Structure 1
Amino acid sequence: MEEVGDVKRILAIDQSTSATKALLFTETGELLDKTAVSHQQIYPQPGWVEHDANEIYRNTLQAVATLLQRNEEKQDNLLCLSITNQRETVVVFDKATGKPLHNAIVWQCRRGEAICAELEAAGYGDLVQSKTGLKIDTYFPASKLTWLQNNHPNIKKKLEAGEALIGTIDAYLVYRLTNGRAFATDQTNASRTLLFDINTLGWDAELCQLFSVPQAALPEVRDSDAKFGETDLDGVLKRPLPIVGIMGDSQGALFAQRCFAPGSAKVTFGTGSSVMLNIGSEVAYSDKGIVTAVAWVVDSKPVYAFEGITNFTGATITWLRDQLGLIDSVEETEELAMAVSDNGGVYLVPAFVGLSAPYWQPNARAAIVGLTPASNKNHVVRAALEGIGFRIRDVLSLMATEAQVDLQTVHADGGAVSNGFLMQFVADMNQLQVHAAQTPELSALGAVFCGCLGLKIYTSLDDLKNLPSGYTAYSASMPPDRVSELVAGWKTAVQQVLCRSQNIF
């Protein structure tokens, strides 16, 4: 039996929308310890969202330093550093110094709307989807890069002169952590930019020209299980570690859930939610508002997925707490929701920054409908949780239809899996079984598993399937006629929001 001191460990960074985590895993996927450092959310004007990329880099070093101070004796057994990250958020930074030339523009930011509308009106939608699997939408970074250059001539000048680089958060961190010796991303992140051809698995010159993005400023694209350089984290580590295994957060969770078979699906609950369904090794498209992404490229073999994003999940609940003051903590929402027998006809449509898949209506705004004098805060809290569940149903039901899959089970992960009311509601609305992961931090675990494959600790996906995993099962129990009644009420509420966004009254 292996002595405790000989257990090999993997250091992971999970750079998310709200915080940067440093995590310590064993090679079998057991989480040993973690720490997190939050960063500021910057809102220059309504609909715009930014992060200070310098702050994110500093927080990365701080999180790792704090973690390793508590686990100093384990440093000698570290095998590699693996990274998972918020996708679509983009940084333009100085090539010589690595310092950002502008705040990172976050995936939630809507400043590229006018640019996207122009391109859509000009008829580029089909071309873009055929190459990228995505819709022309400001959710993805390309239009924001166009906006940056249009509004900041100094950035445009530096990019054209080859003095600046463009990276998603993973590529930016790789560049900073390696002191500029490596500048690379993986296909899961590249496939979310609107600049990457998922058929050829490379940057596309035509798309770069369409969005006025200098292709030379983009990072090298490597497989998810590749090596991305070495780092000592600016002296935090006793010795340099190889960076092996990078995945966008949603794909990382899909991988960690062992959704290796076509037709398997998962929901990741975070600030927003990502619903993903493995569609296998061939590219497929949907014309109903579902996008296609690279799920991973491991051992040089690409796997693709359908994906639908909902923008506000955890953010809806923090809004109840921070803006409305209806709750003191996120944890109490389950009890409050169950304090009433039903939603009392109240629906909350969480379109705070628009409605994404499958509606793709960026001008939509959130609404609470169906309020009566009998409505109380419990009804509103319940409506908020149900609104999250309804949005998952919007995406999951359409995705299953598009993929021609009869879903019996969906895997769930993220902070919201601890909310039994929400998990049961998702099971009921979709009439299937939800397997809510008991293992925390699955996005990071997916990157760690990729790192283990890259280091040949494991040689196949079958090896990963055999590792232990635990979940809590929620089975559908609501009568189908009641489901239909609730869904009809939801659709009416959504229609009101969509009509208002298009001034149809």
Structure 2
Amino acid sequence: MTYILAIDQGTTSTRSIVFDADLTVVGSDQREFPQHFPRSGWVEHDPGDLWDTTVATMKGAVEKAGIDVSAIAGIGITNQRETTVVWDRETGEPVHRAIVWQDRRTAGYCRDLKAAGHEDMVTDRTGLLLDPYFSGTKLRWILEEGARDRADQLAFGTVDTWLIWNLTGGTAHVTDATNACRTMMYNIHDGTWDREVCRLLDVPMSMLAEVKDCAADFGTTDVLGPRIPILGVAGDQQAATMGQACFSKGMLKSTYGTGCFALLNTGDTPVRSTNRLLGTVAYQLDGKPTYALEGAIFVAGAVVQWLRDGLGVIESAAQTQTLAEEADDGQQVYLVPAFTGLGAPHWDADARGAMFGLTRGTGPAEMARAALESVGYQTRDLLEAMRSDVPDLGNAVLRVDGGMAASDWAMQFLSDILDAPVDRPAVLETTALGAGWLAGMRAGVCPDMTTFAQRWQADRRFAPAMDGDRRDRLYAGWQDAVRRTMTG
């Protein structure tokens, strides 16, 4: 058994990839699924769609790889984090659509908790802020909407837990530390669910899953025929951190998918940010957590989807680079893509998107450039906050991945506006790679951490080439645009 099957369950699609023992892709399959927006700021998924596309892509990837299922040594799972599923333990039926990490419906409740003085306690224990981004308030909302009277019959899970429950036929109600720490109910210092936070949110602890290491025995599945062990689990951003081999303190990665998430490895000690960044578990192996400082941007690649699907100014994501290159240098248009609020370091749940600097000459090219630039500006916001929290960080090399990292134009602008080197890896799909490595390492068919890190390769390094005065002027304009967008 020399193959690993990695499941990458994302926000807009599910992908399964078959890796060989050298972690080379030998087959993959991907399926999109519907997004549901019942109200402004609300985002939902049908849990059945998450499960169905998982099974379909697992089968598709194995078929495309042309291997026998019996050759698969283990399964790794990585998933969109914070998205909340609640289901009946007896029937396995969800009691509500999954509430997605982008959803802002509990913003008012979070404000009430802050006003009552609870945020410091929550941050001290969980590393997180009181924000609707996290699972805890989403879970409470589902209970309050008619499920509380039968809470003792229900199970809660992030997407990894929901998939494992179904893969194992309801025999395993488990998660890993990287997903648990994103719920706002997990004490990252003690490594346990936090009773006081659960009491504050009125969440019964009986609904919560068993928490394991990232590489552990999560149960077995027979959905492909022969039983295969599930051996690796990590939330998508932590999986990408491992896929980028950011195993040393001070290493930094940023993933550009639907959103953008930058993680800085802080070693065996969590950092309490003074700039509203998040303390989180980067990974946990052999019972020992390694921590990270994280900044989350809610809209990165999604801004390109908006240009395509919302405005219709492009037909494909690849067009944005060509348009950006054609944009009028005499115009400086800023797009603040706060479609579902602003994430770190601003955390303004009520902010909404805005565009500044429009003229009669503004067209698709200028809008495309502003969209790509917005990702660079937001990343600089995160790194400025990280440099303040970790003064010796300096201009650390940023390792990038995700779909938008394929754009040379966007990555060069990122390096320019950060005034720091940006390394793009040879394998862009580092999220699935991280999950595959966890499972393969646990199964004994993939290399250990040291060897895996030594094999990491860059496809290209982008070095800053922008004049310092221009950099400062552009970023000052961005900061002004953000100030005009914020509600606080």
Q: Secondary structure at the match of 1:466?
A: helix
Q: What CA distance in whole angstroms lies between the structure 1 residues aligned with 2:330 and 2:32?
A: 34
Please state how far the C-alpha of 1:31 moved relative to its aligned partner: 1.3
Pairs within 5 Å for 1:10-89: 10-89=4-83
Q: Secondary structure at the match of 1:304?
A: strand
Pairs within 5 Å for 1:245-264: 245-264=232-251
Q: Is the 8 A contact 1:89 1:107 kept in 2?
A: yes
Correspondence for 1:407 = 395
Aligned partner letter, 1:200: D
Q: Is the 8 A contact 2:425 2:456 kept in 1?
A: no
Q: Tell me: CA distance 1:298–1:407, structure 2 relative to 1, closer, same or farther (3 Å).
A: farther
Q: Tell me: CA distance 1:459–1:301, structure 2 relative to 1, closer, same or farther (3 Å).
A: farther
Aligned partner letter, 1:467: R
Aligned partner letter, 1:496: R
Q: Is the 8 A contact 2:254 2:399 kept in 1?
A: yes
Q: What CA distance in whole angstroms lies between the structure 2 residues aligned with 1:122 and 1:150?
A: 20
Q: Secondary structure at the match of 2:311?
A: coil
Please state how far the C-alpha of 1:22 moved relative to its aligned partner: 1.1
Please state how far the C-alpha of 1:97 moved relative to its aligned partner: 2.1
Is 1:422–2:416 an aligned residue pair?
no
Correspondent of 2:85 among 83, 88, 91: 91
Is 1:148–2:148 an aligned residue pair?
no
Correspondence for 1:195 = 185
Q: Secondary structure at the match of 1:373?
A: coil
Is 1:306–2:287 an aligned residue pair?
no
Q: What CA distance in whole angstroms lies between the structure 1 residues aligned with 2:89 and 2:225?
A: 27
Please state how far the C-alpha of 1:72 moved relative to its aligned partner: 4.3
Q: What CA distance in whole angstroms lies between the structure 2 residues aligned with 1:326 and 1:87?
A: 31
Q: Tell me: CA distance 1:459–1:302, structure 2 relative to 1, closer, same or farther (3 Å).
A: farther
Correspondence for 1:205 = 195
Is 1:106–2:93 an aligned residue pair?
no
Correspondent of 2:171 among 181, 202, 223: 181
Q: Is the 8 A contact 1:343 1:382 kept in 2?
A: no
Q: What CA distance in whole angstroms lies between the structure 1 residues aligned with 2:330 and 2:94?
A: 47
Please provide the CA RMSD for this pair.
1.3
Correspondence for 2:150 = 158
Q: What CA distance in whole angstroms lies between the structure 2 residues aligned with 1:82 and 1:469?
A: 22
Q: Is the 8 A contact 2:232 2:436 kept in 1?
A: yes
Q: What CA distance in whole angstroms lies between the structure 2 residues aligned with 1:397 and 1:415?
A: 24
Q: Is the 8 A contact 2:232 2:439 kept in 1?
A: yes
Is 1:9–2:3 an aligned residue pair?
yes
Q: Which segments of 5 or more consecutive residues in structure 1 lack a partner in the other structure?
A: 1-5
Correspondence for 1:3 = none
Is 1:217–2:207 an aligned residue pair?
yes
Q: What CA distance in whole angstroms lies between the structure 1 residues aligned with 2:235 and 2:57?
A: 19
Q: What are the Cα deviations for residues 166-206 of structure 1, in whole angstroms up to 9, with x where unaligned?
A: 00000111111101111100000000000000001110111
Q: Is the 8 A contact 1:298 1:450 kept in 2?
A: no
Aligned partner letter, 1:245: G
Q: Secondary structure at the match of 1:487?
A: helix
Q: Secondary structure at the match of 1:80?
A: strand
Is 1:448–2:442 an aligned residue pair?
no
Q: What are the Cα deviations for residues 369-403 of structure 1, in whole angstroms up to 9, with x where unaligned?
A: 01122322211111111111100110022112212
Q: Secondary structure at the match of 2:312?
A: coil
- Give the TM-score taking structure 1 as reference length: 0.94
Q: Is the 8 A contact 1:278 1:295 kept in 2?
A: yes
Q: Is the 8 A contact 2:74 2:229 kept in 1?
A: yes
- Give the TM-score taking structure 2 as reference length: 0.97
Q: Tell me: CA distance 1:459–1:28, structure 2 relative to 1, closer, same or farther (3 Å).
A: closer
Correspondent of 1:119 among 102, 113, 130: 113
Q: Tell me: CA distance 1:112–1:450, structure 2 relative to 1, closer, same or farther (3 Å).
A: same
Q: What CA distance in whole angstroms lies between the structure 2 residues aligned with 1:468 and 1:43?
A: 39
Correspondent of 2:471 among 463, 483, 493: 483
Is 1:292–2:279 an aligned residue pair?
yes
Q: Is the 8 A contact 1:188 1:296 kept in 2?
A: yes
Is 1:386–2:376 an aligned residue pair?
no
Q: What CA distance in whole angstroms lies between the structure 1 residues aligned with 2:404 and 2:344?
A: 20
Q: Is the 8 A contact 2:44 2:103 kept in 1?
A: yes
Q: Secondary structure at the match of 1:35?
A: strand
Please state how far the C-alpha of 1:368 moved relative to its aligned partner: 0.7
Q: What CA distance in whole angstroms lies between the structure 2 residues aligned with 1:448 and 1:232?
A: 19
Q: Is the 8 A contact 1:350 1:388 kept in 2?
A: no
Correspondent of 1:322 among 277, 296, 309: 309
Is 1:171–2:161 an aligned residue pair?
yes
Between 1:167-176 and 1:464-473, the stretch displaced more is 464-473
Q: What CA distance in whole angstroms lies between the structure 2 residues aligned with 1:304 and 1:360?
A: 21
Correspondence for 1:351 = 338
Q: What CA distance in whole angstroms lies between the structure 2 residues aligned with 1:409 and 1:55?
A: 38
Aligned partner letter, 2:323: L
Q: What CA distance in whole angstroms lies between the structure 2 residues aligned with 1:497 and 1:273?
A: 19
Q: Is the 8 A contact 2:28 2:62 kept in 1?
A: no
Q: Is the 8 A contact 2:21 2:446 kept in 1?
A: no
- For these two proteins, the number of residue pairs brought into alignment is 487
Q: What CA distance in whole angstroms lies between the structure 1 residues aligned with 2:296 and 2:316?
A: 25
Between 1:327-336 and 1:24-33, the stretch displaced more is 24-33
